[in-house]
């Protein structure tokens, strides 16, 4: 462990381990297995990188995305770590050279995709390679209940069968109890030590709003909170990804589309630009994001409802990896609920799988319609307790207005029943509001007792009510794709008058309710410090462009802020800045010190 701590300080530039890093590393150094749940940005990679450098042999890292391996390896090489990756983009000569290095034990870390690792050639290579450990990153891909299921991951138990004495580490940022159990079962980690860090990301502000005028709400959010920041906007469909990217670009913000239907070279180019340039927005389906290391993503926005809390947590966790304030913003509407319900019911899988997917969607809907602290509910889903409201979600900062919706809810449910449970939301609302419609007359529904009994509410308010009734499980939609509403067993007590005081969220009237001033206490600099920080950042960005690497690979923004605050004027002082390791000090230290010397003496 002395050697591990020395590597942490000398190579990576950090003074001390955090969370469970020290215990995890010690477990691997002793030859044991470990299962790690640690939030995005919590320092998972150090848990296998450092023991791979301490133990004799090569640490093999199973990484799901070939496109990101190059950046990970480049960043490690800048630190002086002997790292390489094997993937299909390399020519055979390059692959042979890397394989020879592995066999000779000349690498600390070798990154391989699961599909490649499971080939006969790759397994034969491992037979001839001195092995330090196996690290299985994004381990939730093992589970059919996980949000990024990859069938190849389920075959990785072969590593334990073939190399029983090599310690293994499985890591993920998010997994509920069911997913955790399947990871342990599929990877044969029954004897592994489990380390579960807090899932709390206190620097992320969570906000969820209804989907009325969602694009305009998004635009106001960007203008008011993130006019120049990099961020991700998630959409459910490929078509929506492209239209939103075009719309944002036309409005003046450069936005790049990313989805599985685009050619591989375009996806790779857009991902590369997002990692390397500042202020870009990626508009994407969930095909984008897993393993993204960009630390300064300041917001993640959703224009559609995620399928589960795990997916929501994983996707929003890509914001604020540097610990600075960040936003998770979501707008969802009634159509999202109907669409995802139908996708769940029509999807592949047996009855159990569909039931679990349905339960996960229910939990996500519950989080959306919550009127109390969102962070407490989010953490409770992962079996973690937050004793007091967080103070950094929309419900804590701006408590929602609620109303007694008992009677309107009974009217809505009665109308669904009396129209035969064969129609969608819009039709039922037309009946409630007494709309003069030929189809309603043809069906004889203008003679129902519920016809016109809802004129006291506008159609938009009724839509919000139906959305919440579906979210709360009083109604469900059909599986055929027509969106017909059906009553559930849960609605019986409400219709019979046995349940009263049904309080629902009142629909927001103004977009401004979504806007809040961005917290700045974490990153606040004086005017002079800000000027120095800007100069340091410009220099860092120019170096990154010249070297063809993402800016954060040279120095993270948080490291530059540390320089701006403390203004080190020699190498000894620079070495004390968090994130400045030995190799980076040697390579970049003097030129950054020269920049700082143009300013006043260091603050003590």
Question: Residue 482's pLDDT is what?
Answer: 66
- DSSP annotation string for 462-511: HHHHHHHHHHTTSEEE-SSSS--EEE-GGGHHHHTT-----EEEPPP--G
Domain 2-196 shares a fold with domain 402-505: no
How far apart (Å, rounded) are the C-alpha atoms in residues 469 and 186?
A: 38
Q: What is the pLDDT of residue 205?
A: 97
On the question of pLDDT at 600 being above 70, the answer is no
* Cβ-contact 466, 428 below 8 angstroms: yes
H-helix or E-strand spanning residue 111: strand 109-112
Residue 170: helix, strand or coil by DSSP? strand
In this predicted structure, what is the pLDDT of residue 514? 43
Give 193's strand partners.
Answer: 34
Total H helices, total E strands in the chain: 27, 17
pLDDT of residue 511: 40
User: By percentage, how much of the chain surpasses pLDDT 90?
Assistant: 59
Question: Which long-range contacts link 520-526 to residues 24+ away (Cβ below 8 Å)?
Answer: 520/325, 522/203, 522/323, 522/324, 522/325, 523/324, 523/325, 523/561, 525/561, 525/564, 525/565
Contacts of 181 (CB under 8 A, 6+ apart): none
pLDDT tens string 10-59: 999 888 998 899 999 999 999 999 999 988 777 889 999 999 999 999 99
| Overall average pLDDT of the 277-304 stretch | 87
Q: How many CB atoms lie within 10 A of CB 31?
A: 11
The CATH number that domain 204-397 falls under is: 3.40.50.300
Is 34 in a helix, a strand, or coil? strand
Least reliable range by pLDDT among 131-145, 227-241, 405-419 = 131-145
CA angle 133, 138, 144 (to 5 degrees): 120
Hey, CA dihedral for 73, 122, 137, 10, is it positive or negative? negative
Domains of the chain by residue range: 2-196, 204-397, 402-505, 527-596
- At residue 84 the predicted structure's pLDDT band, cuts being 50, 70 and 90, is very high
DSSP one-letter string for 328-363: EEEEE-HHHHHHHHHHHHHSSS-HHHHHHHHHHHHH
pTM of the model: 0.81
Q: Look at residue 232 in the predicted model and tell me its pLDDT.
A: 96
pLDDT of residue 517: 40
As a whole number of angstroms, the distance between CA 170 and CA 24 comes to: 11
Closest to 28 in 3D by CA, of 12, 48, 7: 48
Instruction: Answer yes or no: are the C-beta atoms of 233 and 58 closer than 8 Å.
Output: no
What is the CATH number that goes with domain 402-505? 1.10.10.10
Q: What is the pLDDT of residues 110-147, one digit of tens each?
A: 999 888 898 999 999 999 999 999 999 988 888 877 66
Q: Which residues contact 498 (CB under 8 A, 6 or more apart)?
A: none
| 562: CB partners within 8 A, 6+ apart | 577, 578, 579
pLDDT digits (tens, 9 = 90+) for 482-539: 678 999 999 999 999 888 889 998 876 544 434 444 343 345 788 888 889 999 999 9
- Closest to 535 (Cα-Cα) out of 459, 604, 598, 462: 598
Q: Look at residue 509 in the predicted model and tell me its pLDDT.
A: 56
Q: What is the mean pLDDT of residues 388-417?
A: 93
Backbone φ and ψ for 170, nearest 5 degrees, come out as -110, 130
HSE, side-chain direction, 13 A CA sphere, residue 563? 34
Rounded mean pLDDT of the chain? 88
Cβ 228 vs Cβ 294: under 8 Å: no
Residues 186, 189, 191, 192: what is their CA dihedral angle, to the nearest 10 degrees?
Answer: -150
Tokens of 520: 């700045």
Percent of the chain with pLDDT over 70: 95
Q: What is the pLDDT of residues 543-581, one digit of tens each?
A: 988 888 888 889 988 899 999 999 999 999 999 998 899
Closest to 318 in 3D by CA, of 468, 204, 190: 204
Mean pLDDT of 157-169: 93
Distance of CA 239 to the CA centre of its chain: 21
C-alpha dist (Å) from residue 329 to 104, 289, 291, 307: 49, 16, 21, 16
Indicate whether 481 pLDDT > 60: no
With CA atoms as reference, report the closest residue to 568 among 527, 534, 597. Answer: 597
CATH number of 2-196: 3.40.50.300
Give the pLDDT score at 270.
93
- Quick one: which of 52, 50, 45 has its CA closest to 8? 50
pLDDT at 512: 42
pLDDT band for 198, please (50, 70, 90 cuts). confident
CATH, range 527-596: 1.10.150.80
Q: Residue 216: pLDDT band by 50, 70, 90 thresholds? A: very high
Picking from 143, 170, 156, the residue whose alpha carbon sits closest to that of residue 38 is: 170
Return the pLDDT at 128.
96
Task: For the chain, state the CA radius of gyration.
Answer: 27
Q: Which pLDDT does position 67 carry in this prediction? A: 66
């Amino acid at each position: 462990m002395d050697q591990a701590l020395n590597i942490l300080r000398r190579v990576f530039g950090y003074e001390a381990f955090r969370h469970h890093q020290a215990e995890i590393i010690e477990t691997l150094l002793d030859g044991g297995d470990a299962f790690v749940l640690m939030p995005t940005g919590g320092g998972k990679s150090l848990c296998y990188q450092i023991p791979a450098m301490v133990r004799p042999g090569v640490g093999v890292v199973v990484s799901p995305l070939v496109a990101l391996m190059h950046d990970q390896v480049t960043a490690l090489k800048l630190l002086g770590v002997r790292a390489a990756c094997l993937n299909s983009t390399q020519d055979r000569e390059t692959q042979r050279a890397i394989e020879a290095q592995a066999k000779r034990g000349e690498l600390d870390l070798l990154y391989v995709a699961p599909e490649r690792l499971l080939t006969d050639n790759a397994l034969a290579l491992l037979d001839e390679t001195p092995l330090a450990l196996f690290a299985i990153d994004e381990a939730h891909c093992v589970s059919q209940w996980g949000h990024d299921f990859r069938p190849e991951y389920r075959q990785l138990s072969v590593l334990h069968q073939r190399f029983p004495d090599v310690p293994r580490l499985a890591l993920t940022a998010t997994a509920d109890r069911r997913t955790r159990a399947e990871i342990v079962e599929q990877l044969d980690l029954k004897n592994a030590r489990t380390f579960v860090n807090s899932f709390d990301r206190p620097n992320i502000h969570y906000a969820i709003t209804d989907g009325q005028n969602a694009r305009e709400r998004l635009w106001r959010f960007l203008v008011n909170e993130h006019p120049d920041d990099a961020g991700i906007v998630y959409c459910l469909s490929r078509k929506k990804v492209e239209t939103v990217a075009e719309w944002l670009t036309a409005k003046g913000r450069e936005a790049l589309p990313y989805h599985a239907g685009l050619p591989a070279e375009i996806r790779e180019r857009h991902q590369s630009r997002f990692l390397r340039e500042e202020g870009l927005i990626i508009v994407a389906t969930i095909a984008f994001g897993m393993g993204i290391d960009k630390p300064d993503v300041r917001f993640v926005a959703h224009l559609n409802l995620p399928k589960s809390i795990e997916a929501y947590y994983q996707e929003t966790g890509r914001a604020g990896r540097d610990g600075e304030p960040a936003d998770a913003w979501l707008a969802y509407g009634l159509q999202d609920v109907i669409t995802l319900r139908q996708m769940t019911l029509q999807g592949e899988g047996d009855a159990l799988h569909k039931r679990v997917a349905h339960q996960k969607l229910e939990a996500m809907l519950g989080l959306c319609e919550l009127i109390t602290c969102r962070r407490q509910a989010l953490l409770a889903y992962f079996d973690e307790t937050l004793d007091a409201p967080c103070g950094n979600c929309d419900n804590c900062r701006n408590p929602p207005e609620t109303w007694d919706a008992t009677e309107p809810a009974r009217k809505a449910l009665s109308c669904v029943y009396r129209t035969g449970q064969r129609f969608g939301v819009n039709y039922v609302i037309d009946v409630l509001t007494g709309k003069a419609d030929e189809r309603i007359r043809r069906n004889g529904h203008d003679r129902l007792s519920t016809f016109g009994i809802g004129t006291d509410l506008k159609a938009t308010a009724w839509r919000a009510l139906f959305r919440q009734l579906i979210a709360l499980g009083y109604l469900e939609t059909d599986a055929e794709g027509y969106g017909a509403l059906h009553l559930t067993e849960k609605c019986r007590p409400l219709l019979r008058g046995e349940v009263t005081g049904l309080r629902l969220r009142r629909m927001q009237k103004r977009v401004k309710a979504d806007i809040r001033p961005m917290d700045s206490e974490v990153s606040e600099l004086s005017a002079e410090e800000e000027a120095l920080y800007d100069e340091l950042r410009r220099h860092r960005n120019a170096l990154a462009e010249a070297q063809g690497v993402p800016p954060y690979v040279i120095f993270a923004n948080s490291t530059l802020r540390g320089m701006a605050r403390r203004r080190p004027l020699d190498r000894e002082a620079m070495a004390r800045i968090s994130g400045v390791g030995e190799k980076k000090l040697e390579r970049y230290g003097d030129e950054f010190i020269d920049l700082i010397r143009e300013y006043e003496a260091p603050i003590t």
